[in-house]
Copies of this chain bind each other. A is one copy, B any other.
């Protein structure tokens, strides 16, 4: 029985797909945090290279992937599309379930799809060193990998609590030659100020972003990189959806449901956007974003302008948000603990073109364990949300439907979370409406 659909390497996409010109309602521009006016690209150039700023607002539908990026992609791409027949059997599904396996990358997730081009464009503009933050560690690993491949330096500010809880992550980043500091660190003014007030501070993603941005803004040789949310990140991630379209065509299948987990929206956005034109031309395809109930940005957040970070350093983005001061409960899917979401994705949710569903973490770990027991592979806690949604859809959808989900990463460096789950130690957080409303009160009125 053939479960795996391998795209021939020569059929790997050579262009990314940019959804900006195809959005039914144009995207609202990012606003300057000081003036509240559309941000001046020149201001972004302090921390981003020009080519990525151009991609961020490009009107071009397709953008060539540089040859050297294609070569590095070739180390693991095209990735397999896999029919999850055992899962179908185990749940008595009358639908076909496929997963696009992005866990096969060197870093173990979809993140290198954008870390490699980001490093490449920075290097092309003479940047010698990249700074970034990482929460759970997936993005830091991916950027350290890409920097190593391209021969530039990389510094990662990792939220201290994760740095301590996930020692394997930081060893992997160092093995790629990356420099890593637990955040708050003594390397930045921001970090030193926090440590002076609270030497035991365990950090937060917002704080780590502030440290990385400060590092990039204060060093001539360094730029900042972000692993999700922004338009150019979704652009680079479109390679997963484009490959999947070709793989489905190879076997004469069409997706009725396109599913992914959402933290900042990069894996799901990159996966579903290449299917968008089909929906806009009237075909019956449903896009389902799966998020945690503990951080229900798309299902319970407000669609408005908000800051990307807690310290209010970033431009204001029009997005679904729980408020930039919202601190999500400590769920194990660290990659899904973000108060906002990619503006492109939020635009589509607001238009009713993408639906969102929220799940408790234990039901997701149960889905992951079911998957592992029949398909063999151990999913990342983030990925388990997509699996849960796919399983639910298989029982709701019209028999014979085809469900495709993005398997965003493996869980081999998250086994501590599985241990907690197996020991029955995981909590389900039902977020009180007051908490969300309180955090939203901090949002700017625009």
Binding site for B on A (CB under 8 A): 1-4, 6, 8-10, 70-72, 74-76, 86, 104-106, 108, 145, 148-149, 167-168, 171-172, 174-177, 369, 372-378, 412-413, 415-416, 418-419, 422
> Are B171 and A377 within 8 A (Cβ)?
no
In the complex, A177 Cα to B372 Cα: how many Å?
10
In the complex, A375 Cα to B72 Cα: how many Å?
9
In the complex, A168 Cα to B171 Cα: how many Å?
15
Given contacts A175-B418, A373-B148, A412-B108, whether A74 and B378 have CB atoms under 8 Å apart is no
In the complex, A138 Cα to B75 Cα: how many Å?
25
Interface centre among A75, A76, A105 (most CB of B within 10 A): A75
Of B86, B171, B369, B376, which is within 8 A of A418 by CB?
B171
In the complex, residue of chain B having the shortest beta-carbon distance to the beta carbon of A107? B376
Closest CB-CB distance, A414 to chain B, in whole Å? 9
Of B86, B104, B172, B422, which is within 8 A of A174 by CB?
B422
Residues of B within 8 A of A413 (CB): 412
Q: Contacts A2-B74, A75-B375, A148-B373 known; list 18 others, CB within 8 Å.
A: A1-B71, A3-B9, A6-B6, A105-B376, A106-B372, A106-B377, A167-B416, A168-B168, A168-B412, A171-B416, A171-B418, A172-B378, A172-B418, A175-B418, A176-B372, A177-B373, A412-B412, A412-B413
* 19 intermolecular pairs with C-beta atoms under 8 Å apart: A1-B71, A1-B74, A4-B74, A6-B6, A6-B8, A75-B375, A148-B373, A167-B416, A168-B168, A168-B412, A171-B422, A172-B378, A172-B412, A172-B415, A174-B422, A175-B372, A175-B415, A176-B372, A176-B373
Residues of B within 8 A of A105 (CB): 376
> Are A415 and B168 within 8 A (Cβ)?
yes
If over half of A's interface residues share one DSSP class (helix, strand or loop), that class is named, otherwise mixed; here it is: helix
> Are A175 and B369 within 8 A (Cβ)?
yes
Closest CB-CB distance, A332 to chain B, in whole Å? 13
In the complex, A273 Cα to B8 Cα: how many Å?
29
> Are A75 and B172 within 8 A (Cβ)?
no
Residues of B within 8 A of A175 (CB): 369, 372, 378, 415, 418, 422
Residues of B within 8 A of A74 (CB): 1-4
Closest CB-CB distance, A1 to chain B, in whole Å? 6
In the complex, residue of chain B having the shortest beta-carbon distance to the beta carbon of A76? B376
In the complex, A86 Cα to B70 Cα: how many Å?
13
Given contacts A2-B9, A415-B175, whether A145 and B376 have CB atoms under 8 Å apart is yes
Residues of B within 8 A of A6 (CB): 6, 8
In the complex, A377 Cα to B75 Cα: how many Å?
9
